[in-house]
């Protein structure tokens, strides 16, 4: 079946300025794995999208003007898909629908409505001063009994929007509290201003306490599927865990493992910075790859990149050029899990990784932490990604070019 939509950012179907609702029907499958759409918002808007009438599952991504993913979700096979909504600023955006398995038609619904500006409160008219009444003879007022001082409110919220704000985490933060059947959740918010390895430790006194690490990917104030990154429990061997994270805002949720239990708890968060050194951040497609430039200067040219890949950003691409025959060495190292580097040559220039275009692969968990490849003049790509699903890491990629 012939698709009406392009399959790269540069050939994306242009929906022009989106204002109101629009429905599109198309197809993805073995012969057409991706559909890209381009649209523009003239003002800050509430944007929503849903994918319906699927015979097999698809992956949906919303990208900004640079091709950076800002929202993603998986839509399983269903007649009616869930609707994802978020606020977007005025500008140009892309939407990508990717086949996961099998062929399927789909119905894509997009809707955009301007976010209303707040209406200023009316200025009240001046009220004339009342004419004072005669002053009566004062009557003694009985002294009221003292009112008991209420206990201070609990500082911890039990939703993402009311979470207690730890602030920017640099080093160690510790907190204590109590959870029970009546007040069974405490939620805390913290910020990382650079990539870091986060260690979380949880202890409970009389019963098992559970700690969940959460990233609100669509910023809707709810904990949706896939937004719990890691879980630790005070009565298991996993009472502590370490997770690589990029800069951003995160939450931890503490609750009793049993809904009928009560326990006091204490937890510690320890952030070890692993700052990145690439700006702008590398894209996750060939067309949006970070441009390294020309590498093969004599006697040797070296490029080093440090960044994050994992559950929140599953791949980074780098593009470089060689203007003569070169021996290229590729090294990959990672912090907490295995990272994989793939050397790619886009032979047909279509912006996709087709069969036979991956020249060589190296992994930080294998003896092939580095490899060397003889290359002729041309433009090449290196992809960095987790070697296993559901793992995250901060990595260091090194490219060393020796001209022949």
Per-residue pLDDT tens digits for 207-242: 678 889 999 999 999 999 889 988 877 665 457 888
Q: Note the pLDDT of residue 76.
A: 87
pLDDT at position 13 is 93
Q: Average pLDDT for residues 300-324, to the nearest whole number?
A: 91
pLDDT at 133: 67
DSSP calls for 190-225: EEESS-EEEEEEEEESSS-EEEEEE--TT-SSS--T
Q: What is the mean pLDDT of residues 143-154?
A: 62
> Quick one: pLDDT at residue 305?
94
The mean pLDDT value for 267-273 works out to 93
**pLDDT value, residue 5:** 81
Give CA–CA dist 169/173, Å, rounded.
7
| Count of helix runs (H) and strand runs (E) in the chain | 0, 27
pLDDT (average), residues 46-52: 91
The larger pLDDT score, comparing residue 104 to residue 115, is at: 104
Q: Where is pLDDT greater, at 387 or 37?
A: 37
- Distance CA(162)–CA(153), nearest Å, equals 13
Residue 44 three-state SS: coil
**Cα separation of the two ends of the chain:** 48
Q: Is the predicted pLDDT of residue 41 greater than 80, yes or no? A: yes
The pLDDT score that the predictor gives to residue 336 is: 66
Calculate the dihedral angle through the C-alpha atoms of 72, 54, 50, 79, rounding to the nearest 10 degrees: -130
Cα separation values, 315 from 68, 100, 276, 311, 365, Å: 11, 17, 15, 10, 17
Integer Cα distance of 254 and 240 in angstroms: 13
pTM, two decimals, is: 0.59
Q: What is the mean pLDDT of the chain?
A: 86
Which residue bears the tokens 């003239």? 42
Mean pLDDT confidence for 159-170? 93
- Segment 321-336, tens digit of pLDDT: 999 899 999 999 887 6
| Residue 186: pLDDT over 70 | yes
Question: 3-state DSSP call for residue 277?
Answer: coil
Higher pLDDT, 207 or 243: 243
* Per-residue model confidence as pLDDT tens digits over 346-373: 999 999 999 999 999 887 665 557 889 9
pLDDT of residue 125 exceeding 80: no
pLDDT of residue 207: 67
pLDDT at 153: 47
**Does the pLDDT value for residue 163 go beyond 70?**
yes
| C-alpha 258: how far from chain center | 30
Distance CA 161, CA 181 (A): 21
| Mean pLDDT in residue range 306-319 | 92
Q: How confident is the model at residue 265 (pLDDT cuts 50, 70, 90)?
A: confident
pLDDT of residue 286: 94
- What percentage of the chain reaches a pLDDT higher than 70? 86
């Amino acid at each position: 079946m012939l698709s009406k939509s392009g399959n790269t950012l540069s050939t994306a179907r242009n929906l022009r300025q989106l204002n109101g609702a629009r429905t599109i029907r198309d197809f993805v499958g073995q012969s057409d794995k991706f559909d890209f759409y381009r649209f523009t918002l003239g003002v800050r808007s509430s944007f929503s999208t849903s994918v319906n009438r699927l015979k097999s599952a698809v992956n949906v991504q919303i990208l900004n003007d640079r091709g950076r993913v800002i929202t993603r979700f998986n839509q399983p096979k269903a007649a009616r898909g869930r609707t994802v909504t978020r606020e977007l600023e005025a500008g140009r955006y892309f939407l990508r629908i990717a086949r996961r398995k099998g062929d399927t038609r789909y119905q894509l619904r997009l809707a955009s409505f301007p976010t209303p500006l707040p209406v200023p409160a009316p200025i009240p008219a001046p009220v004339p001063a009342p004419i004072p009444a005669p002053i009566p003879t004062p009557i003694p007022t009985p002294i009221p009994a003292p009112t008991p001082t209420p206990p201070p409110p609990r500082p911890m919220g039990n939703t993402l929007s009311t979470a207690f704000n730890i602030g920017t985490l640099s080093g160690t933060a510790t907190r204590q509290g109590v959870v029970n059947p009546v007040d069974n959740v405490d939620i805390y918010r913290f910020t990382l201003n650079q990539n870091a390895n986060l260690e979380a430790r949880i202890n409970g006194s009389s019963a098992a306490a559970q700690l969940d690490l959460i990233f609100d990917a669509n910023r809707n104030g709810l904990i949706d599927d896939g937004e719990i990154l890691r879980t630790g429990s005070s009565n298991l061997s996993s009472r502590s865990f370490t997770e690589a994270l990029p800069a951003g805002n995160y939450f931890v949720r503490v609750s009793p493992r049993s809904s009928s239990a009560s326990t006091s708890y204490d937890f510690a968060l320890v952030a070890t910075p692993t700052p990145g050194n690439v700006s702008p951040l590398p894209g996750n497609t060939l067309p949006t790859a970070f441009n390294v430039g020309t590498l093969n200067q004599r006697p040797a040219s070296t490029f080093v990149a440090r960044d994050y890949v994992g559950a929140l950003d599953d791949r980074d691409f780098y593009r470089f050029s060689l203007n003569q025959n070169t021996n290229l060495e590729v090294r990959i190292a990672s912090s907490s899990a295995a990272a994989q580097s793939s050397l790619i040559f886009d032979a047909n220039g279509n912006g996709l990784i087709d069969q036979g275009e991956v020249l060589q692969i190296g992994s930080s968990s294998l003896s092939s932490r580095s490899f060397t490849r003889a290359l002729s003049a041309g433009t090449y790509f290196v992809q960095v990604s987790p070697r296993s699903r559901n793992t995250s890491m901060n990595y260091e990629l090194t490219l060393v070019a020796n001209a022949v």
